[in-house]
Amino acid sequence: MSTYPSAILVFNGKRKSGKDFISVSLQKRFGEDKCAILRLSGPLKKQYAKEHNLDFDKLLDASEYKEKYRAEMIKWGEEKRRADPGYFCRLAVSEEGNKPIWIISDARRKSDVDYFQKNYRKVTQTVRIMADENVRIERGYQFTKGIDDAESECGLDIGMDWDIVIYNNGDNRALENKLDLIVEDINMKLAENKL
């Protein structure tokens, strides 16, 4: 059961850029009682696992199991999105959207961003996580043809005007300062609106 949020941060970034790490860090700062992480890939993986008789929990982690099915899961998800661009966004909101602050940790397509900007325009901010390729490689990234050159990884690389850009290249102090500024900004907006 979802409620109308007071603030939404819609995250995008390449694989191994640190989207999940930063999402969890922000959630801790806001407090889990106020902030929910909505993963658009969660409902996708849940439905894909159900329809293909797979282990849903293994599809959620960063395991070899997920990588084995990633390309087919992406293809299946694209077919669902072509039929209904907001399908996975609505599922994520209906399952997890019951707190005043939402972090959408894995927007991958323009249709994902459009859904939140259209339906929650006044409270949505877009966030791009940037990390140099050599840093991502150190974190375990390895280019995979058909995945890293697909829309799910490249669809938001150009033509977006991000509200917030976070550089996550290993400078922990700079990252912490940026996250503190984001939390301060949102908390100030919430206080001004008495939300």
18 is in an annotated binding site: yes
The torsion defined by the Cα of 127, 131, 133 and 137, in degrees rounded to 10, comes to -110
Known binder of ligand: residue 121? no
- Please report, as a single letter, which amino acid is at residue 97: G
Question: Angle formed by the axes of helices 87-96 and 64-83, to 10°?
Answer: 110
Q: Is 53 annotated as a binding residue?
A: no
Is 168 marked within a binding site? yes
Distances (CA, A) of 121 to 7, 98, 118, 138: 10, 18, 5, 37
Q: How many CB atoms lie within 10 A of CB 127?
A: 23
The answer to whether 15 is a known ligand-binding residue is: yes
Q: Is 16 one of the annotated binding-site residues?
A: yes
Strands (E), 63-134: 101-104, 124-130
Q: Which two tokens stand for residue 24?
A: 């969890």
* 34 annotated as ligand-binding: no
User: Count of residues for the chain?
Assistant: 195
Binding site residues for substrate, as ranges? 168
* Binding-site positions for ATP: 14-20, 139
Q: Which residues are annotated as a binding site?
A: 14-20, 139, 168
